[in-house]
Structure 1
């Protein structure tokens, strides 16, 4: 699985995409409005349109999975689902969101397989603009709509118990997990691995991923779970590796704000770095889901 990201900071600076230093220092604001309500009226303004920054990979399903087509608005997109679904014996379902900005075969083995092994029906989608699929990459926002659309497909999938639908994701998928968990009610619980809840901090590290109007602060707010921490619709576990502490403050702030709103949102640190912590994060997510 591709874990390293592009670091073309000099190119981004030349293109004028680096964020102002004042934005870098500002504490993320707390928005009292419910995130789902805010999404109903907000439309992201993309200043660039086109595919995701990561090179596309073939969407042939890996061993143990089959391809499923799904629609997100007018877009026809693709997901992989495990072959263990049995309509006569409903199982819990888990929507797994990959890291990076393309679906790779290794994502199935690293992220989905632990849930399949534990008896879940797992589905992992590619989103708009990824892997040669239609639509424009937006950096979290419109991709959240894709996550919600494919969640409906998994919830209705033969052999999935709709009352036991979970969501988990790593890195970019971890942030999308948080945004989806505060958008609607279909999930019983959510686990985010190494997801950065502060979009301003994320895009400072990856300015080449910016496709939206940086002069509009709301563009960043609507991509930042920390700003809407009172909006989670299910219990949430936020995880990261012991050797990747760059987002720890934002994670702590998100948890603190959510708990102040009376929500069941927790954090845990797993031994390892961005990649090596994944097996431990998957184990923690499974334990967490079993308690809900």
Structure 2
């Protein structure tokens, strides 16, 4: 989960895929000429050609049973694994957060082992605050069936995982959040853009740490179809106008993907998307204090807010 990734190409085409362009690309879309297609509508008419078979299958991790239990959720006809905080058995309903790890986000390792306050990628402040946590394993990861689609089918997996989470008797289904870091943050943005159209009430808010304007690792994939189309449908910067649920982009200003994200945020005119860049913190050190702050707001059922210039060091 350590890789920060490159800056990505400048994504200047927010919604550049016009209806006429879609026709040229061979996508038949049943919308009026004046309508602007959403990422969700384009995905519904396109099947990706990127299908990467995992080179190594790793066993499911085994966290302490008092922290997480293994569950299975269904996505696109596949039974996929996830880890969820056990039922506290107190008859209460709790807020919950689905967390997507960085690096190769399809697979989980020792996700429950807390890092230092300078690099805690486990989002431990949420479980410390008694929020319910879910870590989904995505298609092709660990012992899951399916192949890796590099932020395409994985969007459906995250949505399906959250739908499963909402059915648990100890979950307040009106207070489910989505969070992710680095490559997981990029996937969280794509999920926000799609779910805003397909599942508008699924997430109360989305929290994206250290994302990039476009999906990493695509340059390492051998394309058998339309490379530009595959890139476009995985580039969050193209679809920020689709976001209709509160969504936060957060990054430290000292290093990481700050410059890449600032370029995207400077163009943003969508009030549902907020960007917060934290001085004196980097791609990793920003995680603990900001997650701790957000966890407190979630447990108090407050509207999420961030003062980028607050003295976060005093809150560690």
What range describes the TM-score normalised by the shorter chain of this pair?
0.7 to 0.9
Per-residue CA shift, 1:25-76, capped at 9, x if unaligned?
6543111532222221122112x5302x676353323451111111111211
Where does 1:252-267 land on structure 2 (aligned, <5 Å)?
Answer: 252-258=262-268, 260-267=269-276
Match of 1:248 in 2: 258
Given that 2:71 and 2:82 are in contact with CA atoms closer than 8 Å, whether structure 1 keeps it comes out as yes
Larger deviation: 80-89 or 66-75? 80-89
User: Which secondary structure does the structure 2 equivalent of 1:44 belong to?
Assistant: coil
Match of 1:104 among 103, 109, 113: 109
Match of 2:63 in 1: 61
Larger deviation: 247-256 or 182-191? 247-256
Match of 2:52 among 49, 54, 58: 49
Partner Cα distance (2:37, 2:113) in 1:
36
Relative to structure 1, the CA distance from residue 112 to residue 5 in structure 2 (aligned partners, 3 Å threshold; closer, same or farther) is: closer
Relative to structure 1, the CA distance from residue 278 to residue 195 in structure 2 (aligned partners, 3 Å threshold; closer, same or farther) is: same
Match of 1:136 among 143, 147, 160: 147
Aligned residues: 266
The reply to whether residue 147 of structure 1 matches residue 158 of structure 2 is yes
Structure 2: unaligned runs, 5 residues or longer: 16-35, 115-120, 305-316
Where does 1:154-233 land on structure 2 (aligned, <5 Å)?
Answer: 154-184=165-195, 185=200, 186-199=202-215, 202-203=216-217, 207-208=219-220, 210=221, 212-213=223-224, 215-233=226-244
Partner Cα distance (2:203, 2:267) in 1:
21
Per-residue CA shift, 1:101-150, capped at 9, x if unaligned?
22111356442431111121110111111113211111111111110110
Partner Cα distance (1:179, 1:49) in 2:
19
Give the TM-score normalised by the residue count of structure 2.
0.75
Match of 1:75 in 2: 78
Match of 2:284 among 260, 275, 290: 275
Given that 2:139 and 2:145 are in contact with CA atoms closer than 8 Å, whether structure 1 keeps it comes out as yes
Larger deviation: 225-234 or 103-112? 103-112
Structure 1: unaligned runs, 5 residues or longer: 8-23
Larger deviation: 189-198 or 144-153? 189-198
Partner Cα distance (2:271, 2:57) in 1:
42
Given that 1:50 and 1:137 are in contact with CA atoms closer than 8 Å, whether structure 2 keeps it comes out as yes
Give the TM-score normalised by the residue count of structure 1.
0.80
For the pair shown, the structure with the greater C-alpha radius of gyration is 2
Relative to structure 1, the CA distance from residue 277 to residue 264 in structure 2 (aligned partners, 3 Å threshold; closer, same or farther) is: closer
